[in-house]
Amino acid sequence: MTIIVSELDLGTPGGLRVAVKDTIDVEGVATRASSPALEDSAVPQRHADVVANLLTAGAHLTAKVSLHELAFGTTGINRHVGTAANPRFPGRIPGGSSSGSAAVVAAGLADFSLGTDTGGSVRIPACCCGVFGLKPSFGRVSRAGVMPEHTTLDCVGPFANSLPMLEIAMGMIDPSYRPSPIPDRPTIGVLQVSARAEVAATVAQALLRSGLPVQDLAFEHFTAAYEAGMVIINRETYQACGHLLQSQKVGADVAARLSAAAMTDEAAVARAEHTRRLFSAEVDQALTRFDVIALPTMPDFPLRLEEAGDTSAVLGMTALVRPFNLSGHPALSLPLASECGLPVGLQLVGAKGKDAQLLAAAQRVLMNIYGARS
């Protein structure tokens, strides 16, 4: 099980055990993003803001953990540092790019962990590993000291084995965060999307068991937002990491994606930004009618490792998550179990800046489904 890339012992002994993705700076520890191309990178001289906040809040930082190389992939497969085993669903991919961050929580090696989410990289591994994962509102949590330096999509977000622990994590990394009261009957807009029948049924049955008011919802620009999100990811990742191709040390799968990303032109970026405005407004409008939007996190079950070798062929895994990176809305993956025992994620999306209200609504959903705090 390859999860931990650097063992740490920082902060308060006996405090909550926290692991962080190796794109997040820890003073005196190289940030290598699980890539041989960064083996000689300079050692950070200060903590990322989120790390400093964790230590101030009394956390015990225990490890930096592995990821899909350069955070540019969805499976979590990494042939350089090794692929984090999926603790709860052996033989299945851990998901990417924050594979180690999800796996370390699923394995019980941390009370919570931090990953980053540019196009689903918290929510996808959370779903694959059967844990909770939150992508906060864009810009809510400081990214100072987090790779890449410049982004219009990426968010630092926590993984945990329960919603209450996820909320504790948010309070530690964002000192402005305050919990919101759990609502009695939040309204849910159920986004109509294409997904495997068993996945769709698992989500539909969970929402039915919640007994909460639901109404079907459709977005005109959802598919275009997925495609536009890929354009922006390609442009911004190439700007951040394209120079590493010269080292000839980038893994073949990521190198191929970076080389293709170099071809992203200004016209495509302009069209993507236009779609961003349209889709963001569409989601904002829907969230004046509903407290949250619900849909599956992934359209299918996590692939087996032997099925997931071609990174470009599995990008469809992010079809239901990436649009909300483009729009900047907070989004959360809750673990559900299908009848066959494989993991399904229930994704809930909230209004921008209303992260606490999103978590509170999610708590009500789970309390209604299971009859207790989850």
pLDDT one digit per residue (tens) for the chain, 374 residues: 678 999 999 999 999 999 999 999 999 999 999 999 999 999 999 999 999 999 999 999 999 999 999 999 999 999 999 999 999 999 999 999 999 999 999 999 999 999 999 999 999 999 999 999 999 999 999 999 999 999 999 999 999 999 999 999 999 999 999 999 999 999 999 999 999 999 999 999 999 999 999 999 999 999 999 999 999 999 999 999 999 999 999 999 999 999 999 999 999 999 999 999 999 999 999 999 999 999 999 999 999 999 897 665 686 899 999 999 999 999 999 999 999 999 999 999 999 999 999 999 999 999 999 986 55
CATH code of 4-370, in short, is: 3.90.1300.10
pTM value?
A: 0.97
pLDDT of residue 310: 65
Q: Give the active site residues.
A: 21, 97, 121
How much is the pLDDT for 1? 64
Instruction: Please check whether residue 278 is in contact with residue 221, taking contact to mean a CB–CB distance below 8 angstroms.
Output: yes
- Round to whole Å and give the CA distance between 61 and 11: 6
Q: What are the tokens at 291?
A: 């407290």
Q: Is 276 helix (H, G, I), strand (E, B) or coil?
A: helix
Pairing status of strand 292-296 against strand 188-191: parallel
Q: Which token pair is 46?
A: 């200060």
183 and 59 Cβ atoms separated by less than 8 Å: no
